[in-house]
Structure 1
Amino acid sequence: MTDLKAVGARALSREPHAARRPRVEPRRHSIFTTVDLARDGKQMGYFHVPQSPHDDAWGTVRVPLAVVKNGEGPTVLIEGGNHGDEYEGPIALGEFLRQIDPAEITGRIIAIPAINIRAVEAGRRTSPVDGLNFNRSFPGDFDGTLTRQIAAYVNDCLFPEADYFLDLHSGGSSLMILPSAIIESGTTPENHRRNIEATLAFGASTVVMVDNLGETRTSTAAANRQGLTVVGTEMAGGGLVSQGALALCRRGIRNVLIHAGVLKGEIDLPPDANSRILKVAGGPAYMIAEDEGVFEPLTPLGADVRAGDVAGRIHFLHRPEREPIVLRHAGDGVAFAMRQPGKVRPGNCVYVLATDYPAEEWS
């Protein structure tokens, strides 16, 4: 049986696998960049998405794009700001880009620290321009709205350049989540194995396999389809900046780059790294509110629960004579995520449970 706690420290072959994948030919588009992906050194610039709104007939939306390159080797693409109210990833990635010296690496880092730029500026999960969720917009459309155009550029022009994809998420304004590294389900057994090993190298104490209910429009699902090794994260949430999650993110970025063979040094796995390997096992793991009111959570994040345990209550403030609705957990597991705002309506997710992910299910 594979040792889950040890495998995160094991590096894969340093040979880039992008060259071995079928080349994805980009669709016709008008996006242009201020950086050269093939040039050695460190470049901090933008890719420009032409837009023609009311106040700027021939303007562009500038999306930050950085390239750090030193010779030949693997390429790691790192994304932050997929949702604009998730802050640890963009902060840690910006710090890393300011500090890194190209002489410290072999290969290439491509970084897009605020990919959903208009949502980042607004501090919103979705874009204020078109109302779309960037992480439900892949493979994108160069003839679509702004969010779809940005997704198409990442899908067609950046994914084909990369061997690894690190997607830095947090819980955002609507969720609090256990700071975790996230395993993206691979499209093949080999792809899945590579995803697991790279995710364990990130060095989080909690690692969770999440399949997003089979969702195919996420950035990680799109990267998987192109054969990249994929690592995700969920760094706390609540629309706040968690110092603990930020420290985890800083270390994890470097660990994944070392695992990929791009950054020199030794992987830094803390004593509790990969101590809990979990999975979110489909629809029953999600507790969905069926009433409108104010949710009182009663299960702390990280708590072990049993089927039937009280999860929380929904209160009806406009009808004080009405007793609150008691919500109970449908199964056993660990409280992985919890709704942050008190106000809820039917359809809101209020808890997510995770269960053990035994090695025999993937090794």
Structure 2
Amino acid sequence: MTETHKKQLYHVTVDFDRDGKQIGTFQVPLSVHDDAWGVIPVPVAVIKNGEGPTVILEGGNHGDEYEGPIALGELIRDIDVADVAGRLIIIPAINQPAVLAAQRTSPIDGINMNRVFPGDALGSATEQIAAFVNDVLFPMGDVFIDLHSGGSSLNIIPSAVIEPGLTPEQHAANVKAASVFGTPLAVVIDNRGDPRTATASAARAGMTVIGTEMGGAGTTSIEALALCRRGIRNVLASVGVLPQRMATPVPAPKLYTLSPLAHLITEDDGVFEALHPLGTEVSAGDVAGRVHFLTQPARSPVELRYRTSGIVYARRQPGRVRPGNCCIVVASPHTEVQS
């Protein structure tokens, strides 16, 4: 099957090249037991006014992360076309089935969308959605904003995320975008080198890329949502799509990175007790927490120790753990010069 035939699998109800504000869907075919010719209607908005950069904004890659979808829905409703110079392509609930189910992964195929890029136009439902973004939308874009939080399983310090650039120029642009977003800290995260994330795929497409982690714990954060609303407009103003009057001056963030020793993984089945709040400065070798065995009262808890020094950046939200679960993430100071 040719690339043209693959693209014909999708139906799009908006015109990406037309000026004005349009709200519609792109539709991925879904043939299931109770709907032979059904589709997944993924909401998409296009706000275009003349020439200028194209910014693609995505929320809901994981369906249990809420700040991004809320802020993007507000942006769609509130932005006046006259204030735009260029084009906004806004996908507030990209993983529509997961958003409706409030799950990290899609209830249709069980796939984590942020580990499936560049997707597959002939694959499962999640792979097809990712392929549309990668193959159809990314070639249009200059800047990609991917809004995440910790979801149900993690609570994370609200922060901008710096995707490692593939060139010095792209990396500098990514750092600048994270700096103007306006969070107290920005963290370089490469997802342990996994190339299948949306931001890694966008970087390969040559765009300036910024991500976020906006709290988590399976709920919305007042502080994180305020940062998200402000940060979106700051980035859009910094690239010239919105007027500078819509931006809010912010101090430069502290830069951190996740080293290969950042993630603290348990080897036991029990209940995890964390010892330090988010933001606590810790040192390698310190006790981070304990895994307790509630039905074995004679058994002493197992201690987990930090593998690197820095601050407690993220902490597992559910107390129940099993072997392989990530309990703590430590962010270490980053020495890169800000630009």
Partner amino acid for 1:142? A
2:51 is aligned to 72
1:308 pairs with 2:308? no
Cα distance in structure 2, aligned partners of 1:331 and 1:137: 29
Once residues 27 and 107 of structure 1 are traced to their aligned partners in structure 2, the CA distance between those partners, rounded to angstroms, is 30
Distance in 2 between residues matched to 1:259 and 1:247, nearest whole Å: 18
1:314/1:326 contact within 8 Å kept: yes
User: Alignment partner for residue 269 of structure 1, among 235, 245, 249?
Assistant: 249
Alignment partner for residue 183 of structure 2, among 201, 204, 214? 204
Superimposed CA distance per residue, residues 217-266 of structure 1 (whole angstroms, 9 cap, x where no aligned partner): 00000000010000000000011100000000000110110011100124
How far off its partner does 1:27 sit?
7.2
Pairing 1:187-266 to 2, within 5 Å after superposition: 187-266=166-245
Q: Which of 262, 273, 277 is 1:285 aligned to?
A: 262
Tell me how far apart the structure 1 counterparts of residues 195 and 100 of structure 2 sit (CA, whole Å).
26
Which of 79, 83, 86 is the equivalent residue of 1:100?
Answer: 79
* Gapped regions of structure 1 (runs ≥ 5): 1-24
Q: Is the 8 A contact 1:26 1:156 kept in 2?
A: no
TM score, norm. by length of structure 1: 0.90
SS of match in other structure, 1:261:
coil
SS of corresponding position for 1:28: helix
Cα distance change on mapping 1:27 and 1:192 into 2, 3 Å: farther
Superposition RMSD in Å? 1.2
Q: Which amino acid aligns with 1:63?
A: V
Tell me the CA shift for residue 332 of structure 1.
Answer: 1.2
Identity of aligned residues (%): 58
SS in 2 for 1:238: coil
Superposed displacement of residue 275, structure 1: 3.5
User: 2:108 aligned with 1:129, yes or no?
Assistant: yes
Residue by residue, what CA displacement relative to the aligned partner does 1:104-124 show, whole Å, maximum 9, x if unpaired? Answer: 110000000000000000000
Q: Flag the structure with more relative contact order, 1 or 2, with Cα contacts below 8 A and sequence separation at least 6.
A: 1
Aligned residue type for 1:321: A
Instruction: State yes or no: 1:154 paired with 2:126.
Output: no
SS at match of 2:55: strand
SS at match of 2:244: coil
Task: Read off the aligned partner of 2:243 and give its amino acid letter.
Answer: K
Question: Which of 29, 35, 57 is residue 56 of structure 1 equivalent to?
Answer: 35
| In structure 1, distance between residues paired with 2:252 and 2:316 | 25
Contact 2:188–2:257 (8 Å) recurs in 1:
yes
Is contact 2:179-2:253 (8 Å) kept? no
CA distance in 2, matches of 1:269, 1:216: 33
2 CA distance for matches of 1:316 and 1:57? Answer: 48
Is 1:39 the counterpart of 2:31? The answer is no
The answer to whether the 8 Å contact 1:199/1:231 transfers is: yes
Secondary structure of residue in 1 paired with 2:183:
coil
Shift, 1:96, TM fit: 1.1
Aligned to 2:147: 168
**Unpaired segments ≥5 residues, structure 2:** none
Shift in alpha-carbon separation, 1:26–1:319, aligned structure 2, 3 A? farther
Aligned counterparts of 2:197 and 2:26: Cα–Cα separation in 1: 21
User: Residues 35 and 213 of structure 1: is their aligned pair in 2 closer, same or farther, counting only changes over 3 Å?
Assistant: same
1:81-96 aligned at under 5 Å gives the runs 81-96=60-75
The one-letter amino acid of 2:291's match is I
Which amino acid is the alignment partner of residue 196 of structure 2? R
Deviation at 1:310, TM superposition (A): 1.6
Tell me the distance in 2 between the aligned counterparts of 1:131 and 1:145.
10
Secondary structure of the 1:240 match is coil
Kept in 2, the 8 Å contact 1:83–1:120? The answer is yes
Find out whether 1:333 has 2:310 as its counterpart.
yes
1:188-235 Cα offsets, whole Å, 9 max, x none, are 111111111111111111110011111000000000001000000000
Cα offset, 1:26, TM superposition: 6.9
Distance 1:53 1:279 in 2: 43
Name the counterpart of 1:28: 6
CA distance in 1: counterparts of 2:75 and 2:320, whole angstroms:
37
Whole-angstrom distance in 1 between the partners of 2:317 and 2:296 = 23
Q: Partner residue of 1:358?
A: 335
TM-score norm. by structure 2 comes to 0.97
1:299, 1:310 within 8 Å by CA — same for their partners in 2? Answer: no
Distance 1:296 1:243 in 2: 26
**Residue 299 of structure 1 aligns with which residue?**
276
| Alpha-carbon distance change, 26 to 292 in structure 1, aligned in 2, over 3 angstroms | farther
Q: Which residue identity lines up with residue 107 of structure 1 in the other structure?
A: G
Aligned to 2:77, what secondary structure does the other structure show? helix
Poorly superposed stretches of 4+, deviation over 6 Å: none
Inter-partner Cα distance in structure 1 for 2:252 and 2:274: 27
Distance 1:127 1:275 in 2: 34
